[in-house]
Amino acid sequence: MSDGSSYQQFSGSKVRGNVSRLARNENFVLGAILVVLVVMFTVTTRGVILRPGNVRNFATQASVTGLATVGQAFVILTGGIDLSVGGTAAMALCLGAALMTTTPGYLGPIGAGPAVLIMLLVGAGFGAVNGLVVTRLRVSPLITTLATWHIALGLASHFAALSTGKPVIILELPKVLAVMRQGGIGGVSVAAVVFIAVFIIGYFILNHTSFGKSVYAVGGSEASAWLSGIKPRNIKFWVYLVSGLFTAIAGLLQMTRVLAASTQLMGALELDTIAAVVVGGVSLFGGGGNLIGVLMGVLIIGVANNGMNLMGLNAWLQNMVKGGTIFAVVAIDARRRNRSGG
């Protein structure tokens, strides 16, 4: 009898231990939150959120946001931040559209291939500017990327006006973009395929290369990283360049998704990327977090956005929800760091 009781106590203790370990696993908790959100919005939208057409639309939009979020994650892991992503994406897609549609003698029209290449180069160039100003001039990342956000949005309006005469929506884009929108692999959209590829590459870099280890080291302590032979300025420069490049790709995929270009198409991309990163468990102080958590953050923010849109919530209320989420997560992260003495 006592042996049976002891076995039951042992089994119960083991189960409680497993549950406790799962509860401390951030990725498991994020997965549970995602499931709860899906169930909640399934009920409130009467199943609309799970319809095949909406799921495909959600996957494409989440992939666009996810691309920029991977770049944002690289930056935040080093202790920086990139507020310019929305402006850079808008600038890249308006530039690309202008190159494909304006009359000869100014920018275009040129083929879709060269236009896309220029879009990506300009996006990477904006990221490089951010990196140089932050690392060489030692200007705060917040101020630097806020300034380039304004500059990029101004350029986006200028490029949009080149095609239409005033900064509105650019239409009549090359038909090859429609082919990209309709393409994919096994029903998976081009945007989702590109995001999956970029995510896998980003995960490999962060977890299996010396550059990835350097990113974490710089975010943990620049002084310690420097003493161990790492050059923090170089690492920071490259993560900002990567962020600019991935953001330009996101702009390209958004343009192919709607077959149009406008300064308004990317919405509050900077807010969504930061929200996805911090919700995914990456510390805004740098040095902590992983891309699996970031992926969960992208899905959580994507489901929340999609669900709120289907419910017809106002944009200002959606922004308040996302802003409040960022505030809460950052506060929790700061409290955790203070308790651990970090």
- H or E segment to which residue 173 belongs: none
Per-residue pLDDT 10s for the chain (342 aa) are 455 555 555 555 655 655 556 556 677 888 888 898 899 999 999 999 999 889 988 988 899 999 999 999 999 999 999 999 999 999 999 898 888 886 544 555 788 889 999 999 999 999 999 999 999 999 999 999 999 999 999 998 888 887 656 556 777 777 777 766 666 666 778 888 999 999 999 999 999 999 999 999 999 999 999 999 999 999 999 999 999 999 999 999 998 888 888 888 887 899 889 989 988 888 888 888 899 999 999 998 899 889 998 988 887 888 787 777 777 766 766 666 666 555
Token code pair at residue 230? 């790492």
User: Measuring CA to CA, how many Å separate 139 from each of 135, 144, 176, 212?
Assistant: 8, 6, 41, 24
What are the residue boundaries of the structural domains of the chain, listed by start? 34-334
332 Rama class: left (phi>0) / alpha (psi -120 to 50) / beta: alpha
How much is the pTM?
A: 0.86
CATH 1.10.3470 fits 34-334, yes or no: yes
SS3 of residue 146 by DSSP? helix
User: Measuring CA to CA, how many Å separate 23 from each of 29, 134, 276, 332?
Assistant: 6, 38, 20, 16
